[in-house]
């Protein structure tokens, strides 16, 4: 299980989500990614994107100087469904 | 032929263009209700209205409304995956050289739609999906959603008859998904024109009470003021081009061009000042120190005289606008920061044509 960080400060919605999506593609299930953002919308958008794509948000802290840190545990289903169940 | 075409028993898969508005939501829901597997894609062009300026100002305002990204919110309501696609670089050719020209402003709507459906087609082929769905309605948009331009989008995107518009499909020739029985044409719709009543009625049928409005209003290029700023940017640089930071900054602050060779971007409140402060390393910047006031970025090559003028304008937009003298700090531009004492420019002394 690897731990990594992503600096998404100064990026505005939906760029923090897009950068998170790009980074998660290169990670393995169970890996942890900490995303630092300054757009308050990310506090809503990144968890929503994680819910839709099978990842888990384990923490979100609202820090000083507009900074937010969102912790994500990568799930096992990162790509488009190859064989959706009927 | 798509490999999946030979698998009649397989559950068909559609990729839906999800803008976050009501129409694309209804189109996706219509197809989901027919048992098709649907996933959404949303394109980031850099000109998206979604979130940006609202996000900049929200935090300073305390609430500022709902912070949601509408495309994500729609995907959650539909319970479908959403894939964001960053097309900022590729989209430049659409904005800079639209084959079909612009709409009322710098909006290349027909080229844009062909581009997005084309990218959706590539995604569809790459991921083994069967067809594409959009929320287009005949006659709803003056350029990209007309009976005569809809075939143009299908043809130029390469999607051809794998492009299904569920909200107006009954008014168009049957597409491959309809002919093959992947979807039931009888359960598609026949909406037409600019009236939104059929969409509102369908939303009510689906039990959808909350949705973003208006459809089609998700791009800054349809905005007259934004287009004026973009045209000014091109004129001042003597070339039609842009980087992502350029088009982001056009969304923020007051823009004044007192001289052809420089422009000021004046933060209007704390959130914008904070956002602009992230660009201090790239621009000469000014801020009042004797009074509360905005952060101001200078875009261009200012000389000493220009800096004093910029300082007087910075003072004009500060709380010291009525004071005799205001102290302004100037930083960046590869020089140590320094302070000037200036008389704020009177509002009446600022020509209206300086405002871009």
Specify the number of domains making up chain B.
Answer: 2
CA atoms of B286 and B345, how far apart (whole Å): 15
* B215 and B257 within one domain: no
A29 part of a folded domain: yes
CATH of the domain at B88: 3.40.50.620
B146 part of a folded domain: yes
Output phi, psi for B150, to 5 deg. Answer: -60, -40
Specify the number of domains making up chain A.
Answer: 1
Which range marks the domain in which residue B309 is found? Answer: 252-354
B165 closest CA partner among B314, B14, B64, B39: B14
B241 part of a folded domain: no
pLDDT at position A83: 46
Is residue B52 classed as helix, strand or coil in its secondary structure?
helix
Residues B132, B31: contact at Cβ < 8 Å?
Answer: no
Contact A45 B275 (CB under 8 A): no
pLDDT at position A35: 97
A19 part of a folded domain: yes
A57 part of a folded domain: yes
Would you put residue B300 in left (φ > 0), alpha (ψ -120 to 50) or beta?
Answer: left
pLDDT tens for chain B, 356 residues: list them. 555 555 555 799 999 999 988 999 999 999 999 999 999 999 999 998 765 555 565 554 444 455 678 899 999 999 999 999 999 999 999 999 999 999 999 999 999 999 999 999 999 999 999 999 999 999 887 666 788 889 999 999 999 999 999 999 999 999 999 999 999 999 999 999 888 899 999 999 999 988 876 544 678 898 899 999 999 999 999 999 999 999 999 989 999 999 999 999 999 988 889 889 989 999 999 999 999 999 999 999 899 999 999 999 999 999 999 999 999 999 998 888 999 999 999 999 999 999 99
* B306 and B263 within one domain: yes
Q: How far is A11 from chain B (nearest CA, A)?
A: 9
CA atoms of B286 and B326, how far apart (whole Å): 12
Contact B128 A82 (CB under 8 A): yes
* B338 and B267 within one domain: yes
CA atoms of B185 and B196, how far apart (whole Å): 22
Facing residue for B51 by CB, picked from A9, A13, A43: A13
A79 part of a folded domain: no
Write down the residue that tokens 């003072």 correspond to.
B315
* B278 and B346 within one domain: yes
Is residue B9 classed as helix, strand or coil in its secondary structure?
coil
DSSP letter for B293, please: -
B340 part of a folded domain: yes
Residues of A with CB under 8 A from a CB of B: 9-10, 12-15, 17-18, 21-22, 38-41, 43-45, 48-49, 51-53, 66, 79-82, 84, 86
Which range marks the domain in which residue A53 is found? Answer: 3-73
B299 part of a folded domain: yes
Token duo for residue B229:
């700023």
pLDDT at position B211: 82
Query: Would you say the ipTM is above 0.95?
Result: no
CB atoms under 10 Å from CB of B347, counted, come to 9
B112 part of a folded domain: yes
A85 part of a folded domain: no
* B205 and B345 within one domain: no
A86 part of a folded domain: no
B247 part of a folded domain: no
Output phi, psi for A70, to 5 deg. Answer: -115, 125
B129 touches A: beta carbon within 8 Å: yes
B38 part of a folded domain: yes
Is residue B160 classed as helix, strand or coil in its secondary structure?
helix
The angle, 0 to 180 degrees and rounded to 10, between the axes of the packed helices B70-78 and B22-32 is 20
The angle, 0 to 180 degrees and rounded to 10, between the axes of the packed helices B109-127 and B150-157 is 40
B230 part of a folded domain: no
B37 closest CA partner among B74, B10, B7: B10
Answer with the one of B220, B244, B262 that is the final residue of a domain: B220
Give DSSP secondary structure letters for B212-233: BS-TT--BGGG-HHHHHHHHHH
CATH of the domain at A60: 3.30.110.40
A80 part of a folded domain: no
Residues B227, B107: contact at Cβ < 8 Å?
Answer: yes
pLDDT at position B60: 47
pLDDT at position B215: 45
Could you tell me how many CB contacts below 8 A there are between chain A and chain B?
Answer: 93
């Amino acid at each position: 299980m690897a731990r990594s960080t992503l600096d998404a400060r100064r990026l505005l919605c939906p760029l923090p989500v897009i950068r998170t999506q790009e980074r998660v593609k290169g990670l393995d299930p169970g890996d942890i990614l900490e995303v630092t953002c300054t757009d308050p919308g990310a506090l809503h958008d990144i968890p929503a994107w994680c819910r839709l794509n099978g990842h888990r948000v384990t923490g979100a802290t609202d820090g000083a100087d507009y900074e937010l840190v969102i912790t994500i545990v990568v799930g096992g289903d990162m790509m488009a469904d190859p064989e959706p169940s009927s | 032929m798509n490999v999946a075409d030979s698998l009649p028993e397989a559950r068909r898969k559609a990729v839906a263009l999800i803008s976050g508005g009501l129409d694309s939501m209804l189109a996706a829901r219509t197809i989901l209700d027919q048992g098709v597997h649907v996933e959404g894609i949303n394109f980031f062009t850099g000109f998206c209205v979604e979130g940006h300026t609202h996000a900049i100002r929200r935090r300073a305002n305390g609430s500022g409304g709902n912070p949601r990204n509408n495309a994500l919110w729609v995907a959650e309501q539909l319970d479908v995956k959403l894939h964001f696609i960053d097309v900022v670089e590729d989209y430049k050719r659409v904005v800079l050289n639209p084959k079909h020209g612009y709409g009322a402003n710098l909006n290349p709507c027909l080229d844009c739609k062909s581009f997005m459906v084309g990218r959706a087609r590539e995604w569809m082929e790459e991921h083994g999906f069967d067809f594409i769905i959009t929320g287009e309605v005949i006659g709803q948009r003056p350029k990209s959603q007309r009976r005569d331009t809809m075939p143009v989008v299908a043809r130029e995107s390469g999607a051809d008859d794998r492009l299904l518009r569920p909200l107006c499909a009954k008014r168009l020739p049957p597409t491959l998904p309809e002919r093959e029985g992947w979807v039931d044409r009888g359960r598609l719709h026949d909406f037409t024109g600019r009236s939104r009543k059929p969409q509102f009625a369908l939303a009510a049928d689906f039990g959808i009470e909350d949705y973003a409005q208006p459809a089609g209003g998700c791009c800054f290029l349809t905005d007259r003021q934004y287009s004026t700023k973009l045209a000014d940017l091109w004129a001042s640089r003597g070339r039609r081009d842009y980087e992502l930071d350029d088009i982001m900054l056009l969304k923020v602050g007051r823009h004044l061009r007192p001289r052809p060779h420089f422009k000021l971007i004046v933060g209007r409140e704390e959130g914008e000042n904070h956002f602009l402060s992230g660009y201090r390393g790239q621009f000469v910047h000014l801020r009042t120190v004797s009074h509360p006031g905005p952060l101001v970025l200078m875009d261009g090559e200012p000389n000493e005289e220009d800096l004093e003028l910029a300082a007087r304008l910075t003072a004009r937009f500060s709380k010291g606008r009525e004071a005799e003298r205001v102290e302004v700090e100037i930083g960046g531009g590869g020089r140590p920061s320094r302070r000037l004492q200036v008389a704020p420019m009177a509002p009446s002394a600022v020509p209206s044509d300086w405002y871009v």
